[in-house]
Structure 1
Amino acid sequence: MKLEQVKEIANAVLYEGYLLYPYRQSALKNRTRWTFGAVYPREYSEANGGMEPWTMHTECLVEGQAGDISLDVTVRFLHLLVRTVVQPELAKDDRLEANASEWSLASRLAGEPLQEGVEREVSVMGLSLRNLLAHPWRVTIEFPASRTVEYPANAAATEIIREQQALSGAFILAAEQVDTDLFKLSIEIENTTLETGSVTSRRDIVLLQSFVSTHTILQVRQGSFISLLEPPEEVQTFVRECQNIRTWPVLVGNEGERNTMLSSPIILYDYPQIAPESPGPLFDGSEIDEILSLRILTLTDEEKVQMRQDERTREILERTEALTPEQFMKLHGTIRELRPITEGEIE
C-alpha cells in the first residue's frame, strides 16, 4: 500500500477527538482536548512525577533476509498553535454588550484565543536492516517557534495572529535478531523540548509543547511484518516479548499484505479501513456519522460562524451542507456480507 493511502487511515487517528460536536471551541467539552497519543516534554513529565509520559515505544517483528530488507519509518503528530483574533475596539465593546445578557459560559468564551493543529511528520527512508542491526539510528525532531499575522479583508477583525512554540525531540530506531530470518524492530519517540519544567498545572499550555496524536508508519521492502494480533504459532513466543507502550502496531493495507504497519495510540484490528460510505472525517469515532451529520445541519448561523473559524471544522461544515439525499441514505446503514444460516444456528 502506498504511503498516501496509509495516511488516509492514519489521519483518522491523527484527528480523533480534535474537536467534538458542535465543533466550536467555545463549547464546554471542547475546552479540553480529547486527542490520544500525547508525548509530553521530558522536563514537564519529570517535574510531575512521570504522570504524563515523555516517550512512546513500539516493538514489532519483521521476517526476511537481513541483507535484503530496507525500512521506511515516518513519525507523525499534531503541533498545536494559538490563534488570536484582534478586533477593533468598537467591535469588542459591541460583543461585550451583547454577551452581558448571556448566561451561557460558552458565549463568554467565544472570543478567547483558539487552538489549531498543524500536521508534522519526520521520516527516514531506505534504512538498511543490516545497518540497523549494527547500531541504532537516531532521527532528530525539530520544529522552531513561529508567529504569523494575517490581515483579513473583512471588518470583523483587524489581525489574526498565530503563534506556535518550538518543539524538539527524536525517535530512535533499533533492531535485533531473535530467530533465523526473524528480527525485532523498536521505535522510541522522545520529546525533549526545553524550558517546560515550570509548567506544572496547565495541561492546555503544555500541550502546545507536546507531540499530539502521535503515531508511526512503518513500511518494509524485501521483507514482511508479523501480525501481533494473529501471529503464526511458531513466533508467538517472540510476539509476547514485544513491548508496546502507549501505542499498538497493526497491519494496514489490503487483507493479506504484510509490508506496512501503523503503530497507533488507539488500539485497532489488523487492516483497518475507512468505510466507503463515509463522506469524510468527523473526528469522533464513537458517534454515528448519520446522526452527527444531521445534528450539524441543525446548528444556528452563529454556531456555524464559530465552526468556520478552524479550517478543518469548516471543511466538515461545508461537506455536510453539500451532502445529497443519496449520500445521506448511504449513511443510514449497509450490509457488508450475507450468508445462509444453518439449521443448527437457528436452534
Structure 2
Amino acid sequence: MDIDAARTIADTVLGAGPVLRPYRAAGHRDPSRWRCGVLMPADRAADDESLSAVAQTECLVEAAGHVRVRVLLRFLQVRRRTVYRWLPEQGRFKAVGSLDVDGTAIASWDEPVEHEMCFEVDDVTLRGAGARHTVRVPGGFDRTELHDSRGALVGQMVRQRRPLCAMLNVSAQPVPAPRPALRLRVWVENRTRAGADGDEVALTTALVASHLILSVEGGAFVSMVDPPGWATEAAESCANVGLWPVLAGPPGRHDTLLATPRILADHPGDLPDSAVDELLRLRDLAG
C-alpha cells in the first residue's frame, strides 16, 4: 500500500493554499487562505447555503471475498496566534498585529495544526450496518512570554485552538456488475458548534483542507477517472460531494485511493516545484 505516497501528494496539493500562501501583513487574518476543502460547523452551514459541513466520497472496490478497509481522515485545524505588547506604565498587555523584538517582527497569525485519524473496518461491519466513528480534537491554550536581548519583558504570544467534533461513517453495498464489486461510501460531517461568533471565529471550528486516504486488503479500487467497461455504469452512479477519488501510488497499483477537494488524475505522483508554483499563482488570483 502506498499510504506515504498519497500523503505526499495530498500535502503538496492542499498545502499549497493554506500553508504556503505568502504572508501579507496588511491582512494578517485572511479567511480566503483557508478556502480549500473547508467543512464548516454544522450550525453555521445550516444558516448559509454557500457553506458545507459535509463531504462524501463513493468509489468502487472489486472484491470477490472478504475485504478490510483502512480510512485515514486528514485535515488542518486553525490555531489562533495573538501577539500582545507589554505596557509597563499601565501594567497590562495590549493585543497588536505585530511586535518587533530585537529587529524581528512577530505577527498575530492563524496557524495550521495537522490532524490525521486512522480507522479500520472489517468485512462483516462494512457489508452490514457500516461503521460510525466520532472524531474529537481537544482544544488547547499556550502562553509564551517575549523578552528582548537584555531580558526585559516586551510582550507575550498566546496560541489558542478550539475543540472540534466530527462524525465519520464508512459503509459498502454490492453493485450489479459483471464482476463482484462494492460501492464504498465514506462520509464525514463537522458537528462542532460555532455558536453566535462571527465568520472569522467560526473558521477556528472548521476542518480545513479535509481529505481521505483509503487502502484496501483483499480487493482492488476501480479507477473513477477511467473505469473499465464493466464498471462504467456503476461508477457513474457514485456520488461524490466535496471530494474526488483517484488511484494513488505508482501506475498499476489499485490498493490505495486519495480523495481530495481538488480534481486530480489517477496516480498523480509527486508534483514538481513548477506545479506547486502554478497552484500558488492560481490561488492568489482566485483570492
- The question of 1:150 aligning with 2:144 is answered yes
Quote the residue 1:167 is aligned against: 164
- For residues 236-273 of structure 1, what are the alpha-carbon distances to aligned partners after superposition, in whole Å with 9 as ceiling and x for unaligned? 00000000011100001001111111000011111112
- The question of 1:198 aligning with 2:196 is answered yes
* RMSD of aligned residue pairs (Cα, Å): 3.0
Q: 1:266 aligns with which of 235, 257, 262?
A: 262
Quote the residue 1:186 is aligned against: 185
What is the correspondence of 1:32-181 to structure 2 with a 5 Å cutoff? 32-35=31-34, 36-48=36-48, 50-67=49-66, 69-89=67-87, 113-125=108-120, 127-152=121-146, 154=148, 157-179=154-176, 180-181=179-180
- For residues 29-69 of structure 1, what are the alpha-carbon distances to aligned partners after superposition, in whole Å with 9 as ceiling and x for unaligned? 96233331100111111123x321110011000011242x1
Q: 1:256 to 1:174 in 2, by over 3 A?
A: same
8 Å contact from structure 2 (residues 61, 183) kept in 1: yes
Which structure: larger Rg? 1
8 Å contact from structure 1 (residues 173, 188) kept in 2: yes
Could you say which structure has the higher strand fraction?
A: 2
- For residues 182-212 of structure 1, what are the alpha-carbon distances to aligned partners after superposition, in whole Å with 9 as ceiling and x for unaligned? 0000011011112x2424xx43221100000
Q: 1:283 to 1:78 in 2, by over 3 A?
A: farther
Residue identity matched to 2:110: Q
Residue identity matched to 1:83: R
What is the correspondence of 1:314-325 to structure 2 with a 5 Å cutoff? none
Runs of 4+ off more than 3 Å: 27-30, 151-158, 281-284
8 Å contact from structure 1 (residues 141, 168) kept in 2: yes
Structure 1 unaligned regions, length at least 5:
99-109, 289-347
Residue identity matched to 1:158: G
Alpha-carbon distance between aligned partners in 1 of 2:277 and 2:28, rounded to the nearest angstrom: 14
Quote the residue 1:294 is aligned against: none
Quote the residue 1:310 is aligned against: none
Alpha-carbon distance between aligned partners in 1 of 2:277 and 2:154, rounded to the nearest angstrom: 28
Alpha-carbon distance between aligned partners in 2 of 1:15 and 1:115, rounded to the nearest angstrom: 14
8 Å contact from structure 2 (residues 164, 205) kept in 1: yes
Structure 2 unaligned regions, length at least 5:
100-104, 283-287
Alpha-carbon distance between aligned partners in 2 of 1:65 and 1:43, rounded to the nearest angstrom: 42
Could you say which structure has the higher helix fraction?
A: 1
Relative contact order higher in (CA < 8 Å, ≥ 6 apart)? 2
Alpha-carbon distance between aligned partners in 2 of 1:30 and 1:210, rounded to the nearest angstrom: 15
Identical columns (%): 25
